[in-house]
Each structure stands twice: as structure tokens, then as C-alpha cells.
């Protein structure tokens, strides 16, 4: 589902932001839910049924049925077996790819977040639109979309844009 967040603020209003209050966090949690990415892997049977009901596979099985009526039993059964074997290998490969994607998800970690007029340590899965976070000089990965208010940083946007080279990002307001 899509997250609807106000983007109509002028650029002058973002640097004036003072982070979220406890009430803002409560409202954001109710509105958007938890900030977690759960990947549920389907079973082999679910994926196989999905593939077996595809129009091309159904057409091929229909052709096998027609060949059986013409007494091409060996050819028909061999073709049906090969179709099932091919679809099974495709499903296995799809399951392997999905499990690799699931392994790429990062565990939540703590970041410095400005809430209630003070800096506090917050888990990355508890961040909401409107939070102000501090990026430190050490190599820190922050898996979220951010507006850089001050300073510079190197950004790896490969998961968002496919850009293979990390880019240098500048703050929206020059200090």
C-alpha cells in the first residue's frame, strides 16, 4: 500500500522542523503502522499452482489432452512430464531468489533521533515521516529515504534507483 505524506511544505519549513512529539509518534504509529518489512515466502504448492494456471501452461496441457485423443500416448505423457518438471524447476528457482531477497533485509538498529526536544536513541524500525535523525561520521547505513538538512554524505541508492555508484549528496541549505 502507499504511504500518503504531505509533501506540500515549502523548502523553508523543513529546516525549521523540531522533530516529532510523543503525540505525533502515537498518531504516526496509528496511521502508518509499524515500520517493518515482512517478506512472507509462499510455499512450493502455492507457486506451482500459480504457474500451472497461467494461460500458456493451460494451453500446453490442453494440447497434451488433444494428443491423447489421437493416440499419441507416449509423446503426450512425456510432454506433460517435461512441462511439470520445467515448471517445478522454475518454481524452485523463484523460491531460491525470494529467500535470497529475504536474507537481504536488515535487522533494526539504533539511530539518534530528535524527539520531544531532545536527542534519543530510537530503533530504525520505529522511525516515522517527520523524524529528524543524526548521521554520524562513522560508516552508518540508514535504510530510509531522507532529506539532508545539513552537511554532506555519500548515498548508495542502488536499492531505490538501480544506480550502481554511490553519490555525494549536499544539504538542501548551504551552511
pLDDT tens for residues 24-42?
A: 888 888 888 877 777 889 9
Quick one: how far is CA 97 from the chain centroid? 14
Which grid coordinates belong to 14? 523543513
Higher-scoring residue by pLDDT: 111, 138: 111
pLDDT digits (tens, 9 = 90+) for 38-47: 788 999 999 9
Amino acid at each position: 500500500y502507499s504511504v500518503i505524506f504531505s509533501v506540500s511544505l515549502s523548502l523553508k519549513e523543513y529546516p525549521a522542523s523540531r522533530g516529532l512529539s510523543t503525540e505525533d509518534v502515537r498518531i504516526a504509529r496509528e496511521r502508518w503502522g509499524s515500520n517493518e518489512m515482512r517478506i512472507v515466502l509462499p510455499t512450493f504448492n502455492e507457486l506451482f499452482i500459480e504457474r500451472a494456471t497461467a494461460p500458456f501452461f493451460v494451453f500446453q496441457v490442453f494440447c497434451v489432452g488433444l494428443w491423447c485423443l489421437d493416440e499419441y500416448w507416449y509423446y503426450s505423457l512425456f510432454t506433460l512430464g517435461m512441462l511439470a518438471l520445467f515448471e517445478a524447476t522454475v518454481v524452485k528457482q523463484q523460491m531460491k531468489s525470494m529467500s535470497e531477497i529475504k536474507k537481504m533485509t536488515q535487522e533494526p538498529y539504533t539511530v539518534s533521533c530528535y524527539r520531544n526536544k531532545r536527542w534519543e536513541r530510537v530503533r530504525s524500525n520505529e522511525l516515522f515521516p517527520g523524524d529528524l535523525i543524526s548521521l554520524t561520521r562513522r560508516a552508518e547505513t540508514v535504510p530510509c529515504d531522507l532529506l539532508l538538512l545539513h552537511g554532506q554524505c555519500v548515498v548508495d541508492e542502488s536499492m531505490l534507483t538501480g544506480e550502481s555508484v554511490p553519490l555525494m549528496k549536499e544539504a538542501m541549505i548551504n551552511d
